[in-house]
């Protein structure tokens, strides 16, 4: 399970809109919304795209920090 709160915070801090992220990662804005509200979890490919596109800390994104 990903760290949705971390993802939301990074989107907010950087001023990204769901539509911009969707376009950059090749998914629908609806899919981004579902990820952000916790009803869907991104697969490996989309997770990698989100990490690269948003320059996320992969350990935080993937909840690997202890």
Q: Is residue 65 part of a domain?
A: no
The number of domains in the chain is: 1
Residue with tokens 């989309």: 46
DSSP run (H or E) holding 4: helix 4-14
pLDDT digits (tens, 9 = 90+) for 4-57: 999 999 999 999 999 999 999 999 999 999 999 999 999 999 999 999 999 999
Structural domain boundaries enclosing 43 = 4-60
Rounded to two decimals, what is the model's pTM? 0.91
In angstroms, the CA 25 to CA 7 distance is 14
Indicate which CATH number applies to the domain containing 22.
1.10.260.40
What is the total residue count of the chain? 66
Q: Report the pLDDT value the prediction gives residue 65, as an integer from 0 to 100.
A: 75
Q: Is residue 45 part of a domain?
A: yes
Q: Is residue 14 part of a domain?
A: yes
Q: Please, which pLDDT band fits residue 1 given cuts at 50, 70 and 90?
A: confident
């Amino acid at each position: 399970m990903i760290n949705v709160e971390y993802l939301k915070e990074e989107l907010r801090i950087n001023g990204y809109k769901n539509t911009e992220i969707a376009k950059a990662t090749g998914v629908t804005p609806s899919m981004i919304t579902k990820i952000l509200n916790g009803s869907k979890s991104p697969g490996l490919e989309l997770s990698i795209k989100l990490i690269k596109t948003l320059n996320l800390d992969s350990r935080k994104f993937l909840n690997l920090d202890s």
